[in-house]
Chains A and B, each alone.
Chain A
Amino acid sequence: MTAALVTVGRDQAALSRRLATSASFAVLGLVDILVLGNLAHHGDATFGLSLPGAAVTVPSLHAPAAPVAYAMGAASLVLAVLRALTEMGRRLRLVTIGAVVLFFVVSLLCWADAGNAIPLNLIDLLQTTLTSSIPIILGAMAGCLCERSGVINIAIEGQLLFGAFGAALVASAFNGLYLGLVTGSLAGGLIGALLAVFAIRYMVDQVILGVVLNVFALGLTDFLFDRVLTPYQNRLNSPATFGAVKIPGLGDIPVIGPVFFDSTIFLYITYAVVILVQVGLFSTRWGLRVRAVGEHPTAADTVGIRVLGIRYRQVLLGGLVAGIGGAFLTIGSVGSFGEDMSSGLGYIALAAVIFGRWRPLGALGAALIFGFATSLEQILSTLNTPLPSNLLLMAPYAATIIAVATRGGNIRPPKADGQPYVKA
């Protein structure tokens, strides 16, 4: 990835990564066995597979906690040894990583629910995973849209925050939820427009610009919150929220229905956006041009593609998409706006973009992991497990560091990402 490393030798870096991956597999395996298996209460863990009041009830799943955790840990250790000793292909490496993480999560769930009278409801867990992923997914799509055209977007956080603010304000003041949704999107687009003008027209360093725009969005929304929203809380900051819409037919399928097809309009928008961005970027002429501009703007310019025009459009589009994610934070879930309510989700979305190698589907997967960690924390806190929630909350971030460190060399950004284009 770094020009510097290439010259020093790929092999050494690859070896370091291989050993680091193997070591982290082993650590997770040992945690499965020594912590989760050893400390689990006796008895079965019970997992609920349907929500109360569902048309078709699915029987709950029972699993003996300690033996499952031991087995998962042993499997992880085996994978750790294999990973250290053999050179694996890319696909196989991804599968092993996924497997070890899955083993860990299964052990964790067994440990958490073992000997507990309340069953752990998997449907609830997955539903919360999807909803808490929405802003991260939309933010990550915004990142993909921008960065594929060669503009680094660190301002996702600011776009989310502006979107949340605009949506709450307008939805409350004019009592129109859809109006709020559109305004939220436009508010995100406003930060996108600032990013575009300063990055493309004035060629400001894009990493710095993103951070500065985040600070600006935070400062401005804080100020307006104190000055305008708080004194008129009832009129300006009490929007209604979107309710869940069950899709007829699909929503009644057991297990899948309640998870995927019984949610607010935001989830359906998210589906549409992910599909549009993935297909658009990789299967249309539009996407080919965007990627050409992001990889080699001079070549793109030579064949007559308007480099700057495409960049402006992509950055604006990204802002609009992230703005919808911001709107979700207010009118899609809690309603009223609060200071710094995006609380770092934009940075998480950024990590998801990089984690997912600037591919919409990859970013989607990474965003879902973060969403899963959030919802796991919420569910576990209701189960009264002795696990300190702070340590659990730390896990996805630590995992990202490990992932970036172990996959570092494989992560290649669009070649012209972050470089302003000057026509020769």
Chain B
Amino acid sequence: MTEPGQAGGAKEPQVPPESPAAPEPATTAAAPSGSTGSASTPDSTGTGGPGEPRVQLPRGEELARKSQVILDSLLEGNSVTVTVLAIVAAIVVGGLLIAFTSPTVLQAWGSLFSSPGNAFAQAWDAASGAYVAMFEGSIFNPHTIAAVFQQASLSDALHDGYISAVFNPLSETCVRATPLIFAGLSVALAFRAGLFNIGGQSQWIGGAMLATWLGFGVSLPPFIHCVVCVIGGFVGGAIIGWVPGILKAKTGAHEVIVTIMLNYVLEYLLAWILGTSAMGKPGTDDLVSPNIAGNAVLPHIAGPSLRINAGFPLALVAAAAVWWLLSRSTVGFEFRTVGANPRAARTAGMSVQRSWILVLVIAGGLAGLAGASVIQGTDHYLTYQSYGTYGIDAITVALLGRAKPLGTVLAALLYGALYAGGVQMQAATSTPASMTGVIQALIVLFVASPAFVRALFRLRGERSGTGERLAKGWSS
């Protein structure tokens, strides 16, 4: 993650601060080499085609053609290239924003002509410092490993928690990614069936409410209680997801409006029910639920000092299940057909209405699992604001993952890393954690507009059309 930041950051002083085109010079060097063809390829910089220097070898003809294919597909701006470039662009723009809102940097730029070096150095320090802190908070912090080697023996290090400190950033990333995987899958699944589920928040609340209620309201043996609550989370979300599904199928009400409205309905329902004796914590006026029973808590999977819990593998299982559902099952085939062309689906004898209902029920259940995973995994109680921004994040995660299960998992991990890193960034530098929101939004904005990214980086391929159409307008 620091690599692209460096590349962009090094360019940044030469380009006016407001220009989003800062990274252009970095790639224009590679672009012409691809378009000039394999025979006359100039000395390769090593960035574009790894096989190019072999042009001079005896079997060069064939290899060159192969490398040309690889290079072409990269420059063509396929979805992986576009996603990577979108992330790079977002990080560069974010870096500029960090640098040029910092008082010290602005002061240094105020005296640009007396000491230009200082101005650039300050800007670079602000941006790189923030990103390094982000990396240390989300993936790996070198200081922790140094601390391990300062211990007398490895067993001492293990015993005193120095080893787990090394893995703490990764654990935090996974913990934050867990609900995003569930919720992202929910939106992704609906996208594939041609539905736009903005109702992640309502379904999250539905799942969390039922899981929490089962968590403190009943008492069951250890393993069973946990499973019951997880199932409760799915059912709670599924019930809320069923509402837009049945309304769309029976009356034609657009799911976007219904799910947006349900978000508010559930928000107020949650605040109300936490104030009643049914779910409120006795003896307090705060809108919180009692803590769930110890048996209902998802167990830690990497020692007690790391927050990572069984929710994370569960989320991966859910992703695998959604993958199976979509690409290996009859129901999933119907979903995708309905998403691609409802009329054709109907002509082929599929029930479009039933698919709509079923998709939203399952999608709701997945978002409900996100709620259950937060309550049972980390929070252990429900407040009137627990739902946070999961509903909207779910949409952006699904978009970033291109509505595919594996993509969604990776996107959720990236988001998790940004959130975990944002906390560290705020602690270590003066950059507020809300920076993560900007970076996330920029990434998704760029990913959603592949044509723009291709134009920005001078890639070949379609520059005006959009790749895939996930959501449909009002008259789907």
Give A residues with C-beta under 8 Å from B: 1-5, 7-8, 13, 16-17, 20, 152, 198, 201-209, 211-216, 218-220, 222-228, 231, 344, 347, 350-351, 354, 388, 390-391, 393-394, 397-398, 400-401, 404-406, 408-409, 411-413, 415, 417-420, 422
Contacts and interface: CB of A to CB of B under 8 A. Distances in A.
Given A215-B392, A215-B396, A351 B441 contact: no
B56 interface: no
Contact of B435 (A4, A207, A223, A351): A223
26 contacts: A7-B343, A13-B252, A17-B251, A198-B448, A202-B452, A202-B464, A203-B464, A204-B448, A208-B399, A211-B198, A211-B392, A212-B399, A218-B441, A219-B438, A220-B437, A223-B438, A344-B264, A388-B275, A393-B268, A394-B272, A401-B262, A405-B253, A405-B258, A408-B247, A417-B474, A422-B465
B471 interface: yes
Interface string B443-476: 0110011011001000000001110011111111
Given A198-B448, A390-B269, A422-B465, 12 more contacts: A4-B353, A8-B346, A202-B451, A207-B256, A208-B448, A215-B441, A354-B254, A388-B275, A390-B271, A405-B258, A412-B475, A417-B473
B465 A203 contact: yes
B342 to A, nearest CB: 5
B396 A3 contact: no
A206 B473 contact: yes
B464 A408 contact: no
Contacts of B198: 211
Interface in B408-441: 431-432, 434-441
Interface string B243-255: 1000110111110
B325 interface: no
B268 A1 contact: no
A390 B441 CA distance: 31
Given A222-B437, A418-B474, A205 B251 contact: no
A40 to B, nearest CB: 21
B370 interface: no
Contacts of B469: 205
B466 A204 contact: yes
Top 10 A-B pairs, shortest CB-CB distance: A418-B473, A219-B437, A226-B432, A216-B441, A390-B272, A394-B268, A222-B434, A413-B474, A207-B471, A408-B252
A351 B346 contact: no
A3 B475 CA distance: 7
A397 B265 contact: yes
Contacts of B101: 223-224, 227-228
A212 B432 contact: no
Contact of B473 (A207, A391, A400, A408): A207
Contacts of B445: 198, 212-213, 216
Contacts of B471: 205, 207-208
Contacts of A398: 261, 265
B260 interface: yes
Given A3-B342, A208-B471, A213-B445, A227 B251 contact: no
A203 B465 CA distance: 6
A1 B342 CA distance: 14
Contacts, number: 203
Contact of A219 (B243, B250, B441): B441
A4 B343 contact: yes
Given A7-B343, A388-B275, A2 B441 contact: no
Secondary structure at chain B's binding surface: helix, strand, loop or mixed? Answer: helix
Contact of B261 (A17, A214, A351, A393): A351
B335 to A, nearest CB: 14
A422 B466 CA distance: 12
A307 to B, nearest CB: 15
A97 B121 CA distance: 66
B257 interface: yes
A226 B434 contact: yes
B395 interface: yes
Contacts of B472: 207, 418
A95 to B, nearest CB: 21
Contacts of B466: 202-205, 420
Given A5-B252, A212-B444, A212-B445, A390 B268 contact: yes
Contacts of B269: 390, 394
Interface string B166-201: 000000000000000000000000000000101000
B16 to A, nearest CB: 18
B452 A198 contact: yes
B405 to A, nearest CB: 19
B155 to A, nearest CB: 44
Interface centre among A354, A397, A419 (most CB of B within 10 A): A397
A211 B452 CA distance: 18
Contacts of A401: 243, 247, 253, 257-258, 261-262, 265
B442 interface: yes
Contacts of A418: 472-475
B448 A215 contact: no
A218 B441 CA distance: 9
Given A219-B438, A354-B254, A390-B269, A1 B475 contact: yes
Contacts of B452: 198, 202, 204
A409 B260 CA distance: 19
Contacts of B253: 401, 404-405, 408
A354 B257 contact: yes
Contacts of A393: 268
Nearest to A220: B438
Contacts of B254: 1, 354, 404, 408, 411
B431 A227 contact: yes
Contacts of A231: 103
A134 B366 CA distance: 37
B82 to A, nearest CB: 12
A69 to B, nearest CB: 23
B97 interface: yes
Contacts of B464: 201-203, 422
Contact of A394 (B196, B265, B435, B442): B265
Interface string B345-370: 01000001100000000000000000
A351 B198 CA distance: 13
Contacts of B265: 394, 397-398, 401
Contacts of A344: 264
A209 to B, nearest CB: 6
Contacts of B465: 203, 422
Contacts of A4: 342-343, 346, 352-353
Nearest to B463: A202
A409 B473 contact: no
A216 B396 CA distance: 11
A152 B251 contact: no
Contacts of A203: 451, 464-466
A65 B452 CA distance: 62
